[in-house]
Copies of this chain bind each other. A is one copy, B any other.
Amino acid sequence: MLPANIEIRDYLAGLIKQSRLKQNERLPSERELVEQFKSTRITVRDALSKLESEGLIYRSNRRGWFVSPARLEYDPSSRVNFYLLAEQQQRTPATELISKKRIKGPLAARTALAVAADEKLIELVRLRSLDGRPVLYEFIYLPESRFPELMKKNLEGSLTTLMQRDYNVEITHEDNRICVSAVYDQVADALAHINGAPCLEIRRIRYEGERKAVEFDIEYWVHSAIELRIPSH
């Protein structure tokens, strides 16, 4: 006898795999499932969070649970920008600039960028969406000295393109660190997740030339929205 929460999970997973529930379609409400399975909300929610962990469904705050669309395939080592990437996979991308600031910035960013004690960093916070669903919340740190007047530019497009065009930056290599983490507060709110929901975290340092770091990012991806693809030679 399977635990009830696993039975509910299996039933819903079945519906999704047979496409009886389509991409972005709403699932029955928690209370409807309680009735259907003669169970309780705790148990139903157990089942739903398991499906969420697997990436089969996602939640939208107080609106319900929805079937996850196909994951965006993303190769962090290719320098393809977000717009191009999304369009190559028939998705509609969008970027919202949440904030831009001149600040001291977190220690991790200052260390990565090896800036002088008195130099300020530019912090950009952006929210990126696919087909209207927020999937990525990112913090970008740049040394002010390398990017004068950056604050005045359009910061919702591709940063790579902007850096190349206006500042003549050629990224020679980068270092990515990837782990499973969790989102809280502003990040959780923006991604329509609850506090503590799992996510894929990518921390990146970009270099121009052998040692000169010019960009430090922290990306929080809705975990069901992305699959990394890492070829190696």
Contact = CB atoms under 8 A, between A and B. Distances in A.
B77 A232 contact: yes
A231 B178 CA distance: 11
Given A179-B226, A229-B177, A196 B55 contact: no
Chain A: interface size category: 35 or more
A42 B196 CA distance: 15
A175 interface: yes
Given A6-B195, A195-B50, A228 B178 contact: yes
The count of identical subunits is 2
Contacts of A198: 53, 180, 198, 223
A177 B227 contact: yes
B77 A176 contact: no
A95 B181 CA distance: 26
Contacts of A174: 231-232
Contacts of A228: 176-179
A180 B224 contact: yes
B71 A176 contact: no
A176 B5 CA distance: 32
A167 B25 CA distance: 50
Contacts of A181: 53-55
B196 A71 contact: no
